[in-house]
């Protein structure tokens, strides 16, 4: 069975959704370790709920970027992680880590890439961009992580979130989040089937 590693900065509702599906057997995987760049992030509580180890590892604990990347890497390796999932990780992932985990690191983006992605395009800014462009539909993209923001090959996409005239960035974020939870679990299953070799 494959082991999942997570990187998250916030409340961790995507981590929660994925670990729930692991527990009920919908995904053939289990949680290995959760890393957050914030000591007080809600995702640590999610980790406790599911009895998965969680660690606070942040760039400012290290004198160099390489030492930071090495600690992230060794934490995943020591916890026998096969696949890393970025789930609302709001910091730049060190390029060294991305290279080491090529093909084994996924990110979720709350819009239909290649639209509304790239540097600085995160959180409510994504939904603001969707509204400003007058898009009638939005959704979710799960893609492999490479060194360009939101540009890696797409593994799974789920549209169909209709944008209403009354929507605000906040209401859109809420609607998209529900789809994120469904889509991320499907993407993980797809990765296991196609790429895990297990």
Q: List, by residue number, the catalytic residues.
A: 109
Tell me if 30 sits within 8 A of 1, measured CB to CB.
yes
Q: How many residues bind ligand GRF, per CB under 6 A?
A: 13
- Distance in Å, CB of 158 to ligand GRF, minimum: 12
* Spatial CB neighbours of 120, under 8 Å, sequence gap ≥ 6: none
Taking the least distance from each CB to ligand GRF, the nearer of 40 and 63 is: 40
Between residue 12 and residue 71, which ones bind ligand GRF under the rule CB under 6 A? Answer: 12-14
Taking contact as CB under 6 A, which single stretch among the options 7-15, 24-32, 60-68, 94-102 is the one that binds ligand GRF? 7-15
- Distance in Å, CB of 48 to ligand GRF, minimum: 16
Residue that is written with structure tokens 């999942």 in the block: 4
Q: Of 153, 36, 147, nearest to 97 (Cα)?
A: 147
Question: What count of Cα atoms within 13 Å lies in the side-chain half-sphere of residue 180?
Answer: 21
Taking contact as CB under 6 A, which single stretch among the options 11-19, 60-68, 128-136, 149-157 is the one that binds ligand GRF? 11-19
Taking the least distance from each CB to ligand GRF, the nearer of 67 and 124 is: 124
- Distance in Å, CB of 107 to ligand GRF, minimum: 8
Q: Which helix (H) or strand (E) holds 13?
A: helix 13-23
For 82-133, the DSSP string reads SEEEESS--SPPPHHHHHHTTTSEEEEESS-TTTT-STT--THHHHHHHHHH
Between residue 136 and residue 195, which ones bind ligand GRF under the rule CB under 6 A? Answer: 177, 180
Question: In whole angstroms, what is the distance from residue 7 CA to residue 43 CA?
Answer: 9
Q: Does residue number 8 form part of the binding site for ligand GRF (CB under 6 A)?
A: yes
Taking the least distance from each CB to ligand GRF, the nearer of 11 and 30 is: 11
Tell me if 180 sits within 8 A of 108, measured CB to CB.
yes
- Distance in Å, CB of 191 to ligand GRF, minimum: 17
Where along the sequence are the contacts to ligand GRF (CB under 6 A)? Answer: 8, 10-14, 87-88, 108, 110, 122, 177, 180
């Amino acid at each position: 069975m494959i082991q999942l590693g997570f990187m998250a900065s916030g409340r961790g509702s995507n981590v929660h959704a994925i670990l729930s599906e692991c527990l009920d057997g919908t995904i053939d995987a289990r949680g290995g370790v959760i890393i957050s760049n914030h000591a007080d992030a809600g995702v640590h509580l999610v980790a406790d709920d599911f009895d998965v180890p969680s660690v606070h590892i942040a760039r400012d604990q290290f004198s160099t970027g390489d030492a930071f990347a090495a600690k992230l890497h060794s934490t995943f390796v020591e916890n026998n992680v096969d696949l890393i999932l970025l789930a609302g990780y709001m910091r730049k992932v060190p390029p060294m880590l991305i290279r080491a985990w090529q093909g084994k690191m996924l990110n979720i983006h709350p819009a239909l890439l290649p639209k509304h992605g790239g540097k600085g395009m995160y959180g409510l800014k994504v939904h603001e961009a969707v509204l400003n462009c007058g898009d009638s539909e939005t959704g979710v993209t799960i893609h492999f992580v490479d060194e360009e923001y939101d540009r890696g090959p797409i593994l799974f996409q789920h549209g169909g979130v209709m944008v209403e005239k009354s929507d605000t960035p906040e209401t859109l974020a809420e609607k998209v989040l529900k789809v994120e939870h469904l889509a991320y679990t499907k993407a993980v299953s797809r990765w296991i089937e196609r790429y895990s070799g297990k």
